Amino acid sequence: LSSVDECSWYNVTCTSGVVTGLWLDEYSLIGTIPPEISRLVQLDFISFRRNCLYGTIPSEMGQLSTLTYLRLQENALSGTVPDSIFGLSALEILYLQYQYNNDWTCTRSSGETVNVYFSEGDATNGMNLGLIGKILDDNLANLTSLRDIRVGYNQFSGVSEDRFHVS
């Protein structure tokens, strides 16, 4: 993703010089998740909890075949979960809850404050509605390793509490 050795970055985990994990919780990250994240082909876990990420989950994340842990809760993501995510057969943990109706803020390096209660952190865009669509449908059967899924505080349909912890 850059000319700098990513293994030297804080809270980036590497094995034999290859990035295997991103643990960037509460870093005031502002913006979208870049589709180029799929270039980190050995990622085992991603945790971007409680930042100011907005936009959609890139479908390219479905190319991360070794991913076991995907923790994106408490951001401002919107749209549907890409079908490609349901092809991640190694995925054990999927946390997507609290994408809307949040009232925390992140501060840009310029000092500007972004509030994720609003779409893309901008009050002129209206309220963020979170993730939408049907989450627990036939695609879920492909996630054979899934142990825990948390999807509350979104606009999902088809949520079943019988098999998974849904909060």
| pLDDT (tens digit per residue) in 101-157 | 666 788 888 888 887 777 766 777 777 778 888 776 677 778 899 999 998 888 887
**Residue 11, CB-side half-sphere exposure with 13 Å CA sphere:** 10
Q: What's the whole-number average pLDDT of the chain?
A: 86
How far, in whole angstroms, is CA 69 from its chain's centroid?
10
Work out the average pLDDT over 27-44: 95
Give every CB contact of residue 99 below 8 A, 6+ residues apart in sequence: 73, 74, 75, 76, 77, 78, 128, 130, 131, 153, 154
User: pLDDT value at position 122?
Assistant: 73
Check residue 8 and give its pLDDT. 92
What span, in angstroms and rounded, lies between the C-alpha atoms of 155 and 84?
20
Residue 118 DSSP one-character state: B
Say how far apart CA 19 and CA 42 lie, in whole Å.
6
Reported pTM: 0.86
pLDDT band at 2 (very low <50, low <70, confident <90, very high): low
Question: How many whole angstroms separate alpha carbon 1 and alpha carbon 4?
Answer: 8
> Token pair for residue 9?
């970055």
Residue 50: pLDDT band by 50, 70, 90 thresholds? very high
Tokens for 84?
A: 């490609």
pLDDT computed for residue 72 by the predictor? 97
Spatial distance between the Cα atoms of 107 and 160, rounded to a whole number of angstroms: 37
